[in-house]
Amino acid sequence: MKYLEVSGEVKNALDSGVPVVALESTIISHGMPYPQNIECAINLAGVIRSAGCVPALVAVDGGKLHVGVGEELLEKLARNGDEVEVKKVSRRDIPVVLAKGETGATTVSGTLIACHLAGIRVFVTGGIGGVHRGAEESFDMSADLEELAVSDVAVVSAGVKSILDLEKTLEVLETKGVPVVGYGTDELPAFYTRTSGLKLVARADSPSEVAEIMKAKWSLGLTGSILVANPIPEDKEAESGEINTAIEEAIHLAERCGIKGNDVTPFILSNVAKATSNSSLKANLVLVENNARVGAEIAKAYGA
């Protein structure tokens, strides 16, 4: 395929039946500062490899949608803005960034498209995008929700990004037929914290249970993703009062500054990190690593 570049390692793994776990690159370019972001990427790859799977970081560069990136491209993604501006790439942006030969970091929706094209069934992220607070007036909803409805991928996340409207996001996911499966929990995790007060209708307590749900859904031709909501480890979760206060203040600041569109999430996350003396960043690193560990076990169970 002209615009798709699958690395040799990832292609060999897919051809030989070795489980592959996809990773988005927005978390590297727009979710964390340098050098923590590149350390995070290397660590996640190590977690996935140690479980017997192959990591596949997804990004756009040089007119190609890359599934699996080398050291040079990873460094470029991590140093966003130093020499090259790294675009934030969702479904809408992929054709433009490809055609212009620009460098782009894929969001959840962009990574789901790459998974579909390459045949990868498990994807690990921090938290998915969803319905923004005040969406009843702004109509601001992430493209992640649309892609989750059509791509046959199990997405392991710590729930929905807590800066969003979690309840409305769950409603949209239900409407689109996306099962939200609590991994060892009956409640939707709230990204930095384990609980949100929102009950889920499905639960799985092992990788094999998730794999069976995946097989049951897709064998019936029921297209779309399964969202595996994996809570941050209990001893690592942030203090909910501090986090929620920081989020509210960051949202109000974004409104006062006129921050809109793709700039909203990184702006809020950056300000939350400052307000919490980087405890939110530490929690982010921990939860993504935890998701990678669980995602790799699910990939192995599905392939068995």
**Catalytic option among 24, 147, 237, 289:** 24
Whether residue 187 lies in the annotated active site: no
DSSP states along 164-205: S-HHHHHHHHHHTT--EEEES-SB--BTTBS--SPBPSEEES
Q: Return the closest-CA partner of residue 56 out of 16, 23, 19, 30.
A: 23
Q: Determine the 3-state secondary structure of 212 from DSSP.
A: helix
**Catalytic option among 76, 88, 161, 300:** 161
| Cis peptide, bond prior to residue 233, ω within 30 of zero | no
Whether residue 199 lies in the annotated active site: no
Strands 4-6 and 20-23: unpaired
Which pair of tokens denotes residue 266? Answer: 């990184």
d(Cα 76, Cα 38) in Å, to the nearest integer? Answer: 10
C-alpha torsion sign, points 240, 232, 22, 46: positive
Which pair of tokens denotes residue 199? Answer: 């009950």
Half-sphere exposure of 11 (CA within 13 A, CB side): 7
Catalytic residue numbers read 24, 161
